[in-house]
Amino acid sequence: MRIPFLDLAAQAGSAGASVAEALAEGWYVGGPRVAAFEQELARYLGPAVEVVGVGSGTDAIELALRGLGVGPGDEVITVANTCVPTVAGIEAAGATPVLVDADPETATIDPARLAAALTARTRAVVPVHLYGRPADMTSIGAFAHEHGLLLVEDAAQAHGASIGETRVGSIGHAAAFSFYPTKNLGALGDAGAIVTSLDDVADRAVKLREYGQTPDRIAHLRADQSRLDTMQAAVLHAKLPHLERWNARRRAIAERYADALRDGPVRLPAGGGEHVHHLYVVRSGERDRLRARLLERGVETLVHYPLAVHQHPAWRELERPGALRESEQAAAEVVSLPLYPQLTDDEVDAVISALLA
């Protein structure tokens, strides 16, 4: 049995009719469909948030920070155990990313290491809900509050994840979502959104996504553009009603893996009911051999991510006030198993058998 790492086509079907309607309407960037999706997502995320659609998740990080007034001369603390767009978005805002290490248990930013990264120039913290697992927002929020810092969630992997009754993306001063096709809520191309409960930030974000202009075409801020196009909004509108069911299926698959692999050859990810399992990431000291063995049995795997941020050639000079050993160790050991809502139990069992063989 061949088990692909992802099967995006299996999920795209529900969007066809919605795209056909949008095509017929003849409005291809912005417009009522974008506004409708923004409202639907806001309703889904929480009682008091506004959503501003933009061109990508990276742009959403940049514009959320700029909307909050973070820019040149400001330091933004984030985690070394993430993908490059987190720091690319911070740097695009003109701010300086400062890296801290991950917690060994959760793989998300370690709140105990924030204090060592704090300087007089620190303006914000960007925790990443990595792999769909909410970061420790209680401790991070307390730290941010104590030091007067802004909190911007990188929620690009965590659509629908929650802490208690609160959805991630509605906790910080602002948040960034990506709708890159592989995400839990994915478009058929690039798309993203800024989420905030602060009216003035939403207002600035609306200007920043389109030349700094108000609808009367008067530019109040200097900006280029980053728009959520109408076709992607139509796709996302069609898919959002399925997100809860898809996330539940992701959780069921994660449980099936966890039950069967408890005594297996790999280290399993820490559990957590609010997790939405964007990725199911196990760890092995013999990753390459493990991946080759799985591939022989038809099981495709990927590595998220092969390097911690500061290990990439382009990002070696980033500020890092402490050791980043946990992030480096994770990068050396992580391997992602297939996990998506359309995966059948038989396929999951085949992955398990391949791992236990």
Ligand X SMILES: *Cc1c(COP(=O)(O)O)cnc(C)c1O
- 3-11, 80-88, 207-215, 247-255 -> range binding ligand X (CB under 6 A): 80-88
Binding of residue 178 to ligand X (CB under 6 A): yes
User: Which of 34, 19, 68, 15 shows the shortest CA–CA distance to 233?
Assistant: 34
CB of 10 to ligand X, least distance (A): 20
Cα gap 307→285, rounded to integer Å? 15
- Burial label, 223 (beta-carbon count in 10 A; 0-12, 13-18, 19+): middle
Task: Compute the least distance from the CB of residue 95 to ligand X, in Å.
Answer: 16
**CB closer to ligand X out of 18 and 58:** 58
Residue 180: asked if its preceding bond is cis (omega within 30°), the reply is no
Does position 192 bind ligand X by CB under 6 A? yes
The answer for 26, left when phi > 0, alpha when psi is -120 to 50, beta otherwise, is: left
Residue whose CB is less far from ligand X, 162 or 178? 178
Q: By CB under 6 A, which span of 79-87, 111-119, 225-233, 327-335 interacts with ligand X?
A: 79-87
Q: What is the DSSP string of 21-42?
A: HHHHHT--BSSHHHHHHHHHHH
Q: Which is nearest to 337 in space by CA: 289, 278, 286?
A: 278
Among 15, 68, 79, 83, binds ligand X (CB under 6 A): 83
- Taking CB positions, which residue lies at the least distance from ligand X? 57
State yes or no: residue 180 binds ligand X (CB under 6 A). Answer: yes
SS3 50: strand
Within 92-131, which residues bind ligand X (CB under 6 A)?
Answer: 128
Binding of residue 141 to ligand X (CB under 6 A): no
85 binds ligand X (CB under 6 A): yes
Q: Does 157 bind ligand X (CB under 6 A)?
A: yes
Could you tell me the smallest distance in angstroms from the CB atom of residue 175 to ligand X? 11
- At its nearest, how many Å lie between ligand X and the CB of residue 120? 28
Beta-carbon contacts of 218 under 8 Å, excluding residues fewer than 6 positions away, are: none
Give the nearest distance from C-beta 128 to ligand X in angstroms: 5
**Helix residue spans in 174-284 (DSSP H):** 199-208, 230-239, 243-261
Q: Does 160 bind ligand X (CB under 6 A)?
A: no
The least distance separating ligand X from the CB of residue 289, rounded to whole angstroms, comes to 27
Q: Are strands 192-196 and 280-283 parallel, antiparallel or unpaired?
A: unpaired
Amino acid identity, position 299: V
Nearer residue to ligand X within complex by CB, 60 or 348 = 60
User: Which residues in 30-69 contact ligand X (CB under 6 A)?
Assistant: 56-58
Of residues 156, 195, 236, 279, which one binds ligand X by CB under 6 A? 156
Determine, following the binding rule CB under 6 A, whether residue 80 of this chain makes contact with ligand X: no
Long-range CB pairs of 219-227 (<8 Å, 24+ gap) are 223/66, 225/55, 226/54, 226/55, 226/56, 226/59, 226/63, 226/192, 227/29, 227/30, 227/53, 227/54, 227/55
Q: Which is nearer to ligand X, 84 or 258 (CB)?
A: 84
Does position 327 interact with ligand X (CB under 6 A)? The reply is: no
CB of 38 to ligand X, least distance (A): 16
* Cβ-contact 173, 205 below 8 angstroms: no
Short-list 250, 178, 345, CA closest to 11: 250
Q: CB nearer to ligand X: give 239 or 348.
A: 239
Instruction: Report the interface residues with ligand X, using CB under 6 A.
Output: 56-58, 82-83, 85-86, 128, 154, 156-157, 178, 180, 190, 192
